[in-house]
């Protein structure tokens, strides 16, 4: 047995010996005699080993070629297209393949596409060899070779309908039923090619958790058709990651429809003392302070609005910023004593001391009561007084009985 066969014998590969020997001969010729057969065989073996992906999660765009094992979880429709400069019509079929680490879309072309529609079944295990790339909906593999493997087992549950806890990065053709927890407005943005895009968001939840839903372009208007508390079914979505969290995206093929189903969502609240920067949390507590709504100009010239409220539970208190439409309702939007949001930012040298109410007990004959809110802020070691602090001395005089004052907030 020669050196080529020796190197090939140590490989765990689906490439047959004749194909391996031909690749070695090509490598020797490419290197112009700088490598003998043994060196060329080891180089080819190294390339084949690099192409092996232990799991789908190991696949990345830019790899020359990968081989992996997975279970078919969804089969798309057969679509045709015209190739540039050719009369023959092209065919493509997208298949979703998953293992325990995640899922990926595999594009099958021409004869493989036709065979997939006619012969392939959900639940089959396939060995795939192809080229990874960044597709329209994220990572996908353009298949060069696909073979069924009846003996292999892949521990993946094939779902008709997903729950939030079932979502995995890269999953597509996702159908999910959930309760609308929050809605957003449509936003526009400029793409790299100069065209204008549109995007909006919903947050939906079920008994297993919650997820942010991102709707693109023509689907963006759907966010304005639903209200919190309604139940919707999301069809043909795909899962992506943003800031470490999974999101369910809805593109051209996706749908969001109102359905008559009961879905329970009970958030697990986090104690205010346990909050950390960068978390996505649910908190519950009483509103102890509410600031007036403020407006500001964004960089794009549009007008924004924000309102700060302070929430307190048994472990502490925290300021909560309500942006956009949420600023309109102020603390009334917190009527369920629970709200969700992202706590993100940088620690600042700010200490805020808030006294929610200062009540002056009135002696006999006095009319009314005094309620004033005091706020003292310390920033970077210096003291800055808010506009309400000007009432402090007046409040003190009332408490000391120096001056009788009718409460302007008396009802």
Q: What's the pLDDT at 51?
A: 52
Query: Tokens representing 205?
Result: 């939840």
Query: Within this chain, do residues 128 and 74 fall inside the same structural domain, yes or no?
Result: yes
- Give yes or no: residues 336 and 365 share one domain: no
Q: Which DSSP string corresponds to 62-116?
A: T-S-EEEEEEEEEE---EEEEPTT-SSEEEEEEEEEEETTEEEEEEEETHHHHHH
**Domain-located, residue 57:** no
| Strand, coil or helix: 140 | strand
Q: What is the pLDDT of residue 53?
A: 62
One domain for residues 187 and 230: yes
Of 233, 231, 234, 226, residue with least CA distance to 263: 231
My answer on whether 82 and 132 are in the same domain is: yes
User: Residues in the chain, how many?
Assistant: 411
- C-alpha closest to that of 186 among 218, 142, 144: 218
DSSP 216-231: EGGGGGGGGG--TT-E
> What confidence score (pLDDT) does residue 200 get?
94
Quick check: is 154 in a domain? no
DSSP H helical ranges for 330-409: 392-399
The residue with tokens 């990926």 is 104
CATH number at residue 248: 2.40.50.140
Q: Can you tell me the distance from the alpha carbon of 134 to that of 59, in angstroms, rounded to the nearest whole number?
A: 11
User: Is 411 a member of any domain?
Assistant: no
280 and 325 belong to one structural domain: yes
**CA–CA separation, 125 vs 146, rounded Å?**
10
Exposure of 215 by Cβ count < 10 A (0-12 exposed, 13-18 middle, 19+ buried)? buried
What is the reported pLDDT for 391?
A: 43
**Do 354 and 336 share a structural domain?**
no
* Enclosing domain of residue 27: 3-51
Q: Indicate whether 231 and 176 sit together in one domain.
A: yes
Nearest residue to 162 (alpha-carbon basis) of 260, 248, 100: 248
Question: Which residues make Cβ contacts (< 8 Å) with residue 188, sequence separation at least 6?
Answer: 196, 197, 198, 199
Q: Are residues 322 and 289 in the same domain?
A: yes
Which of 99, 120, 148 is a domain's end point?
148
> Does residue 296 fall inside a structural domain?
yes
Q: Is the same domain home to 132 and 185?
A: no
159: in domain: no
Task: Give the single-character DSSP code of 237.
Answer: E
Please check whether residue 134 lies inside any domain of the structure: yes
Bridging pattern class, strands 209-216 and 245-250: parallel
Torsion of CA 133, 135, 140, 145, to 10 degrees: -70
Q: CA-CA distance, 351 to 379, in Å (whole number)? A: 7
For residue 162, what is the DSSP state? B
pLDDT in tens, the chain (411 residues): 588 888 888 776 667 788 888 888 888 888 777 778 888 888 877 766 555 566 888 888 877 788 899 999 888 889 898 887 777 789 999 998 988 888 888 999 999 999 999 999 988 999 998 989 887 667 889 999 999 998 888 888 777 789 999 888 778 788 999 999 988 889 999 888 888 999 999 999 999 999 999 999 999 999 999 999 999 999 989 888 888 889 999 988 899 999 999 999 887 788 888 888 777 777 888 888 888 889 998 887 888 898 888 888 889 888 888 888 778 765 444 443 334 443 333 333 232 222 222 233 333 332 322 222 233 233 333 333 433 444 444 444 444 443 333 444 443
Burial class (CB in 10 A: 0-12, 13-18, 19+), 245: exposed
285 part of a folded domain: yes
d(CA 338, CA 237): 28
Distance of alpha carbon 102 from alpha carbon 188, whole angstroms: 31
Any domain includes 386: yes
The reported pLDDT for the residue numbered 12 is: 66
240 and 170 part of one domain: yes
Please give the tally of structural domains in the chain.
5
- The DSSP 8-state label assigned to residue 335 in this structure reads T
Q: What's the CA gap between 173 and 161, in Å, rounded?
A: 10
Residues 304, 241 share a domain? no
Quote the CA–CA distance of 201 and 224 in Å, as a whole number.
10
Rounded CA-CA distance 172/36 in Å is: 47
Q: Are residues 94 and 132 both part of a single domain? A: yes
β 245-250/231-242 pair status: antiparallel
Residue (of 160, 176, 173, 152) closest to 103 by Cα position: 173
């Amino acid at each position: 047995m020669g050196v080529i066969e020796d190197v090939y014998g140590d490989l765990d590969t689906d490439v047959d010996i004749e194909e391996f020997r031909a690749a070695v001969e090509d490598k020797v010729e490419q290197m112009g005699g700088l490598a003998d057969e043994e060196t060329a065989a080891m180089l080819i073996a190294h390339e084949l080993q690099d192409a092996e992906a232990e799991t789908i999660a190991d696949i990345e765009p830019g790899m020359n070629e990968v081989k992996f094992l997975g279970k078919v979880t969804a089969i798309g429709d057969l679509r045709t297209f015209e190739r540039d400069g050719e009369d023959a019509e092209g065919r493509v079929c997208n298949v979703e393949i998953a293992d325990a680490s995640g899922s990926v879309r595999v594009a099958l072309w021409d004869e493989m596409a036709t065979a997939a529609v006619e012969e392939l079944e959900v639940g089959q295990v396939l060995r795939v060899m192809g080229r990874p790339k960044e597709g329209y909906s994220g990572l996908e593999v353009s298949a060069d070779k696909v073979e069924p493997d009846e003996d292999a087992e892949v521990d993946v549950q094939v779902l008709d309908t997903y729950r939030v806890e079932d979502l995995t990065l890269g999953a597509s053709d996702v159908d999910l039923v959930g309760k609308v927890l929050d809605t957003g407005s449509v936003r526009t943005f400029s793409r790299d090619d100069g065209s204008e895009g549109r995007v909006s968001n919903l947050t939906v939840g079920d008994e297993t958790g919650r997820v942010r839903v991102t709707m693109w372009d023509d689907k963006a208007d759907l966010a304005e058709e639903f209200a919190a508390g309604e139940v919707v079914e999301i069809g043909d979505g795909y899962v992506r990651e943003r800031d470490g969290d999974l999101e369910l995206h809805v593109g051209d093929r996706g749908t969001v429809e109102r359905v008559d189903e009961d879905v329970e969502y009970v958030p697990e609240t986090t104690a205010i003392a346990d909050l950390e920067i960068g978390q996505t949390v649910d908190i519950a507590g009483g509103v102890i302070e509410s600031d007036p709504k403020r407006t500001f100009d964004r960089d794009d010239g549009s007008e924004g609005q924000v309102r700060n409220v302070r929430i307190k539970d048994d472990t502490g208190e925290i300021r909560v910023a309500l942006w956009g439409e949420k600023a309109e309702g102020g603390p009334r939007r917190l009527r369920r004593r629970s709200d969700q949001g992202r706590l993100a930012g940088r620690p600042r040298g700010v200490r805020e001391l808030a006294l929610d109410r200062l009540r002056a007990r009135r002696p006999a004959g006095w009319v009314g009561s005094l309620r004033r809110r005091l706020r003292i802020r310390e920033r970077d070691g210096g003291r800055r007084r808010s506009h309400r602090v000007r009432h402090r001395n007046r409040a003190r005089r009332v408490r000391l009985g120096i001056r009788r004052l009718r409460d302007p907030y008396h009802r």
